[in-house]
A and B are shown apart, each in its own frame.
Chain A
Amino acid sequence: MTSQADQPLYAARTPIFPRRVNGFFRRFKWWIMAVTLGIYYLTPWLRWDRGASLPDQAVLIDLANRRFYFLWIEIWPHEFYFVAGLLIMAGLGLFLFTSALGRVWCGYTCPQTVWTDLFLLVERWIEGDRNARLRLHKANWSVHKARLRLTKWAVWLMISVATGGAWVFYFTDAPTLLRDLLNFDAHPAAYITIAILTATTFVFGGFLREQVCIYMCPWPRIQAAMMDPDTITVAYRDWRGEPRGKHNVKNRKAAEAQKAVAEAQAAGAGVARYAGTPYPNLPATTAKPVAENAQGDCIDCMACVNVCPMGIDIRNGQQMECITCALCIDACDDVMARIGKPRGLIDYLALSDEPAERAGAAPKPLWKHVLRPRTILYTALWTLVGVGLLYALFIRSDIELTVSPVRNPTFVVLSDGTVRNIYDVRLRNKAGEARTFRLSLTSEDMLQIGLEGRDTLSVTVPADTTVLQRVYVSARADDPAASDDTTPLRLWVEDVTAQIRASKATTFNGRGAK
């Protein structure tokens, strides 16, 4: 490469000092933060009684025993499709929200956003608002600066430890683990996990912040591809704001004054000749004449830029960096209120409304933007998967069997010519107590069933476990099934006490089988 030196290959991070802001979206985000963090930190401590032999934690991912407990639902490894289904629903949900409302996931609920927001809150509380933090950043190291920095980092670290700590409680009994952790008695994996998550929370929330969204996260790219001109997103009404200028307020006041003067003159009143010479009951004139309609609403006060946690200027249009946290809307609305202009210079809007708004017409109603074939399709798919999962959840039985026909060899001939097939049958008892299962088969042929190592057809399966049972199915030498290729059959398992049945279809190989 012969690229010259004036374009640097690497750039240092430009520090961002978001200013405090008040308003509807800020309040909304505080609520979301409280709810999401509350769910995250408190969920492992909820209890749910499942009987003596099962854990009583409401939400538990028991990796060691390969069980997932969610309230009354218990998922076994072979039911992993529930997890896959939930992930598909999460994906479709993200598509739906992104195509309808832009990057709301990023702006409101992404853990990176929530924890960065929390860390910023701490930062503001300890070091002060934007200007104080800027000054502190530029100041030389001193006892004062060191004290503030150390205090801030200490609080961040405490939050980080709590964050990493909360995570491990999802994987084992929380009260027991907490006691073990405090006694330095817990498994090393718990300490290592807490250490890693503490480090990532501390670094991502405290120092990398927007760098995570811009350089590490793939979602912004994917989500950008899912937005279209009808998507409601945070944007600047440049047709209303431009041309911007710091003097817009002064200019507009001057223009209003001129207009008042002209009206007064038209009404035949006298006019003060010089601005500096006030006359009672007469409007003051201005030194310079100003064009009345040349100025936009944006007074270039930089409020939107100063509050932005991503350090961008929303007035430059849609940008990859924008997480649509909507804080610039609050900041701008505040300014618009103060200069007596309508709110919404920066607002949630659909870019497709621009021509109408430019022409002075009203934008399309919100529902027309949201209800599009695309969002309807996403909703339909999401609902379809959801209903499918619910259906699967409610039809699943407390007992189950899987049948794995032994095909090495395909069949065995006994001394009296009987042809026998072997099946490895796994019996699952998902109930909280031991159950006795009776095995049987149905077939159009005269097939007999027998169990390895048992005189009866009953197997007792302990609570919440499986038993692998070798099952023999045989056809007498003169039965057609013995000489045929394959014969269909169905193996049944019946819970004798609960009167529940489950079955699996399989085939029987005769001597004709290849």
Chain B
Amino acid sequence: MSKRKTDEVTGVETTGHSWDGIEELNNPLPRWWLWTLYLCIIWAIGYTIAYPAWPMISGATQGVMGWSTRANVAAEITAHEAANAELVTQLVAADMPTLPQDADLNRYAIARGGAMFRANCSQCHGSGAAGAKGYPNLLDDDWLWGGDIDAIMTTVRHGIRNTLDDDARYSAMPAFGDMLEPAEIDAVVEHVVSLSSSDFDAALAAQGATVFADNCASCHGDAGLGNREMGAPNLADAIWLYGGDRATLHTTVEQARFGVMPPWGPRLKEADIRAVSAYVHSLGGGE
């Protein structure tokens, strides 16, 4: 390894390394390269003094430049808020039903609302707003409490069946397990199935129709079309919040359902409530 050899053709010393007989010449590096290396080292040391770098027992050194990613983010957020201040003012003052006529403000509201939705609503309703069992799909045209922009805004602001907001939308379906015999429940379930399907037992459904008229029609309507005043679902359409098979319907009738949504008024800014409502309204079901 340390035996020095000189290449015959060039007269340059070799490093002694040989790969398949090809040897590496030990030409000297240019001196400016060395100085560049030293400069980089000095720069690196200066850099660690200027910026947070050296790990200490409790946290790293802060750096003399006072640089902080958190402060940068805060500054960026402030800058964006300042840049959007005019739009926010307009949004808070806007007449929401006519918002889509103002293309720029509408686009801003939907973009802002999308961000709000992903941060606050997607946990239950899904990132694509398709909902889940018990959590309504916001893409379809079926609304429990109303699908125009004002109804959506009220729902967002006050929530549903929560104890935090006195203005929350409220209704409660009784658990019919205490009031009806299991056979009656089976009959009324068959009637409900018959409202939206052609595959049912006609005799049983006819029995159930009587039960339905006595117990359910007051909220769900004689034809089962629901009542938005009470958040009573339409039972005659193709959409089921908890499931439309007989077993699930039996459970629903027997034990009742009580979906809760928190009020967002105390947690979101006025502009955010308007924005997220505009976003939900724009997903495909808005009325």
A2-B3 Cα distance, complex, nearest whole Å = 9
Interface pair B30/A211, CB less than 8 Å apart: yes
Asked if A140 is an interface residue, CB under 8 A from chain B, the answer is no
Contact of B127 among A9, A408, A413 (CB under 8 A): A408
Of the candidates A11, A412, A416, the one whose C-beta lies within 8 Å of that of B284 is: A412
Contacting A at CB under 8 A, from B123-181, are 126-128, 130, 137, 139-142
What is the interface size of chain A, counting residues whose CB is below 8 A from a CB of the partner? 30
B142 A415 Cβ-Cβ under 8 A? yes
Give the residues in chain B near A3, CB-CB below 8 Å: 2, 4, 13, 26
B237 contacts A by Cβ under 8 Å? yes
- Collect the chain B residues with CB atoms within 8 Å of residue A211's CB: 30, 32
Residue in chain B with minimal CB distance to A13: B30
Which residues of A209-232 have CB atoms within 8 Å of chain B's CB atoms?
A: 211, 215
Q: Are A11 and B128 in contact (CB under 8 A)?
A: no
- Cα–Cα distance between A331 and B142 once the two chains are bound (Å): 89
CB distance from B30 to the nearest CB of A (A): 6
Q: Are A12 and B31 in contact (CB under 8 A)?
A: yes
A216 → chain B, closest Cβ, in Å?
A: 10
List residues of chain A with CB within 8 A of the CB of B13: 3, 7
| Interface residue? A153 (CB, 8 A) | no
Interface residues as binary, B29-47 with A (CB distance below 8 Å gives 1, 0 otherwise): 1111110000000000000
Q: In the complex, are the beta carbons of B139 and A422 less than 8 A apart?
A: yes
Contact A408 B130 (CB under 8 A): yes
* A416 and B238 contact, CB distance less than 8 A: yes
Q: A4-B4, A11-B28 are in contact. Are A470 and B284 (CB under 8 A)?
A: yes
Decide yes or no whether B239 CB sits under 8 A from chain A.
yes
Q: Does A177 interact with chain B (Cβ within 8 Å)?
A: no
Interface residue B282 (Cβ < 8 Å from any Cβ of A): yes
* B32 engages A13 (CB within 8 Å): yes
Interface 0/1 of B239-283, CB less than 8 Å to A: 100000000000000000000000000000000000000000010
Report Cα–Cα, A513/B240, bound state, in Å: 19
The one of B31, B142, B239, B284 in contact with A422, judged by C-beta atoms closer than 8 angstroms, is B284
The interface centre, meaning the residue of A12, A416, A453, A477 with most chain B CB atoms within 10 A of its CB, is A453
Q: Is the CB of B284 within 8 A of A420?
A: yes
Q: Contacts of A412 on B, CB cut-off 8 Å?
A: 130, 137, 139-140, 284
Q: Chain B residue with minimal CB distance to A215? A: B30
A9 contacts B128, C-beta separation under 8 Å: no
Provide the residues of chain B in CB contact with A422, threshold 8 Å.
139, 284
B194 within 8 A of A: no
Assess the B100–A453 pair: CB atoms within 8 A. Answer: yes
How long is the Cα–Cα vector from A417 to B142 in the complex, in angstroms? 11
Interface size on B, residues (CB 8 A): 29
Nearest-Cβ distance from residue A69 to partner chain B, whole angstroms: 27
Q: Using an 8 Å CB-CB cutoff, how does the interface string of A314-332 with B read, 1 for contact, 0 for none?
A: 0000000000000000000
A477 and B4 CA atoms in complex are apart in Å by 87
A406 within 8 A of B: yes
Interface string of A186-228 (1 = CB under 8 A from B): 0000000000000000000000100100010000000000000
> Min CB distance, A3 to chain B, in Å?
7
CB-based contact A10/B128 at 8 Å? no
Closest partner residue, chain A, to B16 (CB atom): A3
Residues of B within 8 Å of A10, CB to CB, are: 28-31, 33-34
CB < 8 Å neighbour of B128 from A4, A8, A409, A453: A409
Q: What does the 1/0 interface line of B193-230 toward A look like (CB < 8 Å)?
A: 00000000000000000000000000000000000000
Contacts of B284 in A (CB 8 A): 412, 420, 422, 452, 470, 472
Tell me if A282 is interfacial: C-beta within 8 Å of chain B. no
Q: Does the CB pair A453–B32 fall under 8 Å?
A: no
Cα distance, A230 to B2, chains bound together (Å): 41
Choose among B100, B128, B141 the residue that contacts A408 (Cβ–Cβ < 8 A): B128
**A414 and B140 in contact, given A3-B4, A7-B13, A453-B100 (Cβ under 8 angstroms):** yes
Residues on B with beta carbons closer than 8 Å to the beta carbon of A414: 140-142, 238-239
Closest partner residue, chain B, to A1 (CB atom): B2
Residues of A near B28 (CB, < 8 A) are 7-11
Residues 17-63 of B at the A interface (beta carbon under 8 Å): 26, 28-34
What is the 8 Å Cβ interface bit string for chain A, positions 403-438, against chain B (1 contact, 0 not)? 000101100111111001010000000000000000
**Residue from A211, A215, A413 with most neighbouring chain B CB atoms (10 Å):** A413
Q: Which A residues lie within 8 Å of B238 (CB)? A: 413-417, 477
Inter-chain contact B139/A470, CB cutoff 8 Å: no
Please state if A409 and B139 are interface contacts (CB–CB under 8 Å): yes
Instruction: Report the Cα distance A8→B29, complex, angstroms.
Output: 9
A237→B7 CA distance, assembly (Å): 25
Instruction: Determine how close the nearest CB of chain A comes to the CB of B24; give it in whole angstroms.
Output: 13
**Residues of chain A contacted by B31 (CB below 8 angstroms):** 10-13
Within 8 A of A (CB), among B67-102: 100
12 contacts between A and B (CB under 8 A): A4-B4, A13-B31, A408-B127, A408-B128, A409-B126, A409-B137, A409-B139, A412-B130, A414-B140, A417-B237, A452-B284, A453-B282
Contacts from B to A (Cβ < 8 Å): 1-2, 4, 13, 26, 28-34, 100, 106, 126-128, 130, 137, 139-142, 234, 237-239, 282, 284
Besides A10-B28, A415-B234, A453-B282, 13 more A-B contacts (Cβ < 8 Å) are A1-B2, A2-B2, A7-B28, A13-B32, A409-B139, A412-B130, A412-B140, A413-B239, A414-B140, A414-B239, A417-B238, A453-B100, A472-B284
Task: Report, nearest first, the 10 A-B pairs whose CB atoms are least far apart.
Answer: A408-B128, A415-B237, A409-B130, A2-B2, A11-B28, A417-B238, A412-B139, A415-B142, A10-B31, A7-B13
